[in-house]
Amino acid sequence: MRNIEVNRRTALLGGAGLAACSLALPARLMAAAASSSGCWELLFNGVDLDDWTFFQEGVGEVDKFGAVAIEDGGLRMLGTDYRPKPDAGFGHLATKRSYADYHLRLDFRWGSRRFAPRTLAKRNSGLLYHMAPIRNVLYPDCVEFQFEEGDLGDAIVINARAVEGPNLGGTPVWPTYPPFIPRTYGPVLEFGGITRQWYRKVSDFEIRDGWNTIDLIAFDDQAAHLVNGRIVTTLFGLINKPVEGQAPVPLKSGRIALELEGAETEFRNIMIRSLSTDDITKLKKG
């Protein structure tokens, strides 16, 4: 998998490259790739975790208790083989490389197993993006596409800042921010040395007992969260955590991670395609 931050091929709206790129996908993933135009590549190769790093609080960077399993080309987190020790906490599986200007797609569903401290709570997981390179930290600076029962699609901005896309006519504005609406950064909550902005989805398209198709479109300093083909949250003006006396630094790239947060989860068809400058221009023109 090439680093899309370096290699931005014209991919999103041009169908010519689809057939060639699909040849690189296992047969099981061909149908998923063919369902949309553009050139998809596997973010997870369906075979091993060589391109990913693992971290779990209380455990470290080696998965000692079977928290992640590869099954039929997909990933299962905290499945039937998982036997945690008492102080094993939350964690994530993250790409080694950073990505910018891309469309990410995956399928996600809940399993039945739950673990403390969420035995009686909502099942929870998440997709982290624009994640800082630092390792051995549960929540590096990043943006979270929230996977939580009832909250699938929320955006949580961690140690960074974003402007929430205005809700006009029941749909978050995308992909161009209206010039007549002021850009206002929402409130910041701080606890445990971490700051958070939490932006709630505007509509519920979640399937609780089956597969959900998740799309993340991120380019420049903005992003859109889609659940089962519908936009539920949009972000603009992403910047790194402000430093007093310094100009804001746009947040446009970083690693991608899948969370494990006390609930069994499955992921499949994890694919990504780069967005060229032309692709982004076409997107903005609608």
Give a yes or no: residue 18 inside a domain. no
Q: What is the pLDDT of residues 229-258, one digit of tens each?
A: 999 999 999 999 988 889 999 999 999 999
Give a yes or no: residue 10 inside a domain. no
Tally of domains within the chain: 1
Rounded Cα–Cα distance for residues 273 and 69 (Å): 25
Q: What is the pLDDT of residues 58-111, one digit of tens each?
A: 999 999 999 999 999 999 999 999 988 888 899 999 999 999 999 999 999 999
pTM: 0.87
**pLDDT for residue 11:** 31
Give a yes or no: residue 29 inside a domain. no
Give a yes or no: residue 41 inside a domain. no
Give a yes or no: residue 38 inside a domain. no
Rounded Cα–Cα distance for residues 121 and 41 (Å): 35
Q: What is the pLDDT of residues 19-52, one digit of tens each?
A: 434 433 334 444 444 444 568 999 999 999 999 9
**pLDDT for residue 171:** 87
Domain with residue 163: its CATH number is: 2.60.120.560
Give a yes or no: residue 232 inside a domain. yes
Give a yes or no: residue 4 inside a domain. no
Q: What is the pLDDT of residues 114-149, one digit of tens each?
A: 998 888 899 999 999 999 988 888 888 999 999 999
> End-to-end CA distance of the chain, in Å?
29
Give a yes or no: residue 8 inside a domain. no
Listing DSSP states for the chain in one string gives ---TTT---S-SS-GGGHHHHHTTS-HHHHHHHHTSSS--EESS-SS--TTEEEEETTTBSS--S--EEEETTEEEES-TT----TT---EEEEESS-EESEEEEEEEEEEEEE-TTSTTS--EEEEEEEE-S--S-SS-SEEEEEEETTTTT-EEEESEEEEEPPEETTEE--SS--TTS-------EEETTEEEEEE--SS----TTS-EEEEEEEETTEEEEEETTEEEEEEEEEEEPP-TTS---B--EEEEEEEE-SEEEEEEEEEEEE--HHHHHHHHH-
Which residues span the domain enclosing 102? Answer: 47-285
Rounded Cα–Cα distance for residues 177 and 44 (Å): 33
